[in-house]
C-alpha cells in the first residue's frame, strides 16, 4: 500500500512542479524584459546627458583657451603700457646710500661730472630708492627724466662709469626684467642685447673671432624662422643670415643679410625663393 501511494503522489506532483517551473520562467522573462527596457531607457537617457556634458566641456575648454589668449593679450598690452610709462626712467645701481643724502643733488652731480652730460634739477622729474634699506648693499635709484632725449643722453654715456662701481640700466617692468635675467643666465651677458623699441634680434656670429651678421625685426611680425641652405657655405668667406616670416595675408617672405669678404663665384647655384 505504501509503495503504491508514493508512486501515485509522485506522478501527481511532477506536473505541478513543471507548471510551477514554467510559471517562474515566464515571470523571470517578463521581469527581465521589463528591467531591460527600463535600463535601456535609463542608459539612453544617461548617454544623452553624457553627450551634453561632453559638448559642454568642449565648449568650456574652447572658452578657456579663448579667455587665456585674451588674458595674455591684455597682459602684454598692460606690460607695454607699463614699459611706456617707464620710457623716461633709468635705474642706477651702486650709488652709496646715506641717511641724510640729498639724492637729487647726487644724481645731478653724477650726470654732470661722471657722464659729462649737461643736466640740471629741471631736467629730472623725480628720484627715489627702491625697497627697504639693507646694510649689505645700497638700494637701486630710479631717476625719471623730463624728456626722453635727456634720458638717452645719460643712458648712452653710461660707459664712462666703467670702473666706478656704478651701473646704469633701463627701468624695465617686472616681466621684462625677469626675462632679461633669464636670458643673461642662459646665454651670457655679452650675448644679450636690450632694445628700447621692441625688436627681435636674429644673429649669426662669425666663427672663431668677432663679427658676423644680424637682423633686427619688430616683434609684431610673428612666425619668424631662421633658414639654412646646404649649397651656401657657412664660413668666414661668406657670412649670411636668412629669415622667413609670415605676412598678414598668409604669404611668406624671405629676408636675408649677407657680407662677402672675398671674391668667390658659385656656379650653377641659385635660390628659387
pLDDT tens readout for residues 46-98: 888 888 888 888 888 888 888 888 888 888 888 888 888 898 999 999 999 98
Summarize the confidence of residues 142-151 as an average pLDDT: 93
What was the pLDDT predicted at 168?
93
Of the listed ranges 29-43, 90-104, 198-212, 250-264, the least confidently predicted one is 250-264
Higher pLDDT, 184 or 229: 184
Residues 140, 142: Cα–Cα separation, whole Å: 7
Higher pLDDT, 210 or 186: 186
What was the pLDDT predicted at 189?
64
* Distance, C-alpha 84 to centroid of its chain: 20
User: Looking at the predicted structure, is the pLDDT value of residue 234 above 70?
Assistant: no
CATH 3.30.70.1820 matches 86-187 = yes
Task: Tell me what the pLDDT averaged over the chain comes to.
Answer: 76
In the chain, at which residue ranges do the beta strands (DSSP E only) sit? 89-93, 124-129, 141-145, 167-170, 199-205, 212-218, 225-227, 238-246, 252-260
pLDDT tier at 2, thresholds 50, 70, 90: very low
Quote the Cα angle for 150-156-108, to 5°: 50
What was the pLDDT predicted at 92?
95
Whose CA is closest to 213, among 226, 197, 202?
202
Alpha-carbon torsion angle 141, 145, 148, 154, nearest 10: -60
What was the pLDDT predicted at 145?
95
Whose CA is closest to 92, among 179, 158, 149?
158
pLDDT tier at 109, thresholds 50, 70, 90: very high
CB atoms inside a 10 Å sphere around CB 199 = 15
pLDDT tier at 221, thresholds 50, 70, 90: low
User: Looking at the predicted structure, is the pLDDT value of residue 262 above 50?
Assistant: no
Amino acid at each position: 500500500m505504501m509503495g503504491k501511494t508514493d508512486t501515485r503522489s509522485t506522478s501527481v506532483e511532477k506536473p505541478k512542479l513543471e507548471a510551477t517551473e514554467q510559471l517562474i520562467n515566464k515571470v523571470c522573462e517578463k521581469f527581465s524584459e521589463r528591467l531591460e527596457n527600463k535600463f535601456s531607457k535609463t542608459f539612453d537617457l544617461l548617454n544623452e546627458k553624457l553627450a551634453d556634458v561632453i559638448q559642454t566641456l568642449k565648449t568650456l575648454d574652447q572658452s578657456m583657451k579663448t579667455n587665456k589668449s585674451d588674458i595674455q593679450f591684455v597682459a602684454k598690452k598692460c606690460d607695454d603700457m607699463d614699459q611706456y610709462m617707464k620710457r623716461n626712467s633709468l635705474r642706477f645701481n651702486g650709488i652709496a646710500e646715506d641717511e641724510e643724502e640729498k639724492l637729487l643733488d647726487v644724481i645731478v652731480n653724477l650726470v654732470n661730472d661722471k657722464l659729462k652730460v649737461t643736466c640740471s634739477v629741471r631736467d629730472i622729474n623725480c628720484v627715489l630708492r627702491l625697497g627697504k634699506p639693507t646694510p649689505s648693499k645700497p638700494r637701486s635709484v630710479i631717476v625719471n627724466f623730463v624728456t626722453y632725449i635727456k634720458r638717452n643722453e645719460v643712458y648712452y654715456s653710461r660707459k664712462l662709469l666703467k670702473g666706478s662701481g656704478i651701473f646704469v640700466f633701463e627701468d624695465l617692468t617686472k616681466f621684462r626684467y625677469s626675462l632679461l635675467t633669464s636670458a643673461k643666465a642662459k646665454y651670457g651677458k655679452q650675448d644679450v642685447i636690450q632694445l628700447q623699441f621692441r625688436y627681435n634680434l636674429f644673429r649669426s656670429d662669425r666663427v672663431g673671432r668677432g663679427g658676423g651678421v644680424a637682423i633686427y625685426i619688430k616683434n609684431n611680425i610673428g612666425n619668424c624662422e631662421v633658414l639654412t641652405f646646404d649649397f651656401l657655405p657657412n664660413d668666414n668667406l661668406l657670412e649670411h643670415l636668412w629669415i622667413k616670416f609670415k605676412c598678414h595675408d598668409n604669404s611668406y617672405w624671405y629676408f636675408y643679410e649677407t657680407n662677402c669678404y672675398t671674391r668667390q663665384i658659385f656656379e650653377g647655384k641659385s635660390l628659387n625663393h
